[in-house]
């Protein structure tokens, strides 16, 4: 085993453990903090896969923005979250059963797939980011996702603001 593999196993174990804590922590704030740790673990794995750009973006967007948004939402809905009583549905064991089934199915598919033994070639060339930037505004390539992304963000912004601004007088 190479050093990289050992680090991977270590980081993956931490990530999965904190993911388990996210879905099982009783206090919502703790769940959010575990989520931050899980997301940081995923960022490290991105860095190990030579996708440094996305490792940083993961930290920037997920840890810097989405988890802060989640923490704010938790604080705003605090009163309902008295951390008493079960945090899981009554039928949680059914969910657990289904999830184990899904995981087993996925594992079988992954292991039996012939392409799984592929080995990685040399890493990406240094100007992968440059190519990405060029292709994003290239009309023959991905200019559609680029513009659609901005429209989608605009829609999300308008929708979320419309919903969350308190309407004075009467129904929203």
CB of 166 to another protein, least distance (A): 7
- Minimum Å gap between C-beta 169 and another protein is 14
- Closest by CA to 43, choosing from 66, 25, 21, is 66
3-class SS of residue 46: helix
Write down the residue that tokens 């919502």 correspond to. Answer: 28
**Footprint of another protein on 14-33 (CB under 8 A):** 15-16, 19-20, 22-23, 28-29, 31-33
Taking the complex as a whole, how short is the minimal distance between the CB of residue 17 and another protein, in angstroms? 10
CA atoms lying within 13 Å on the CB side of residue 116 = 9
Which residues in 39-98 contact another protein (CB under 8 A)? 39, 42, 44-81, 86-89, 91-92, 95-96, 98
| x/- track of binding to another protein for residues 124-153 (CB under 8 A) | xxx-xxxxxxxxxxxx-xxx-xxxxxxxxx
CB 20, CB 37: distance < 8 Å? no
In contact, 18 and 34? CB cutoff 8 Å: yes
- Please report whether residue 10 would count as binding another protein according to CB under 8 A: no
Please give the Cα distance from 169 to 172 (Å, whole number).
9
Q: Ramachandran region of residue 109, left (φ > 0), alpha (ψ -120 to 50) or beta? A: alpha
**Nearest to another protein of 115, 169 (CB atom):** 115
Residues that bind another protein (rule: CB under 8 A) add up to a total of: 128
Residue 107 within binding range of another protein, rule CB under 8 A: yes
Binder of another protein out of 121, 140, 169, 170 (CB under 8 A): 121
Q: Note whether 43 and 18 are within 8 A (CB).
A: no
Candidates 114, 169, 170, 172; binder of another protein (CB under 8 A) is 172
């Amino acid at each position: 085993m190479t050093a990289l593999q050992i680090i991977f196993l270590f980081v993956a174990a931490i990530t999965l453990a904190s993911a388990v804590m996210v879905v099982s922590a009783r206090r919502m704030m703790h769940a959010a903090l575990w989520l931050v740790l899980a997301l940081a673990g995923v960022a490290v794995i991105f860095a190990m896969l030579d996708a440094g750009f996305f490792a940083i973006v993961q930290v920037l967007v997920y840890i810097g923005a989405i988890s802060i948004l989640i923490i704010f939402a938790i604080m705003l809905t605090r009163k309902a979250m008295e951390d008493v009583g079960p945090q899981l549905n009554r039928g949680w064991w059914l969910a657990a059963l289904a999830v184990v089934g899904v995981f087993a199915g996925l594992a079988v598919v992954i292991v039996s797939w012939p392409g799984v033994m592929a080995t990685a070639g040399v890493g990406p060339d240094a100007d992968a980011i440059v190519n990405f930037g060029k292709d994003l505004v290239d009309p023959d390539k991905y200019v559609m996702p680029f513009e659609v992304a901005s429209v989608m963000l605009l829609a999300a912004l308008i929708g979320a603001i419309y919903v969350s601004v308190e309407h004075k007088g009467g129904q929203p």
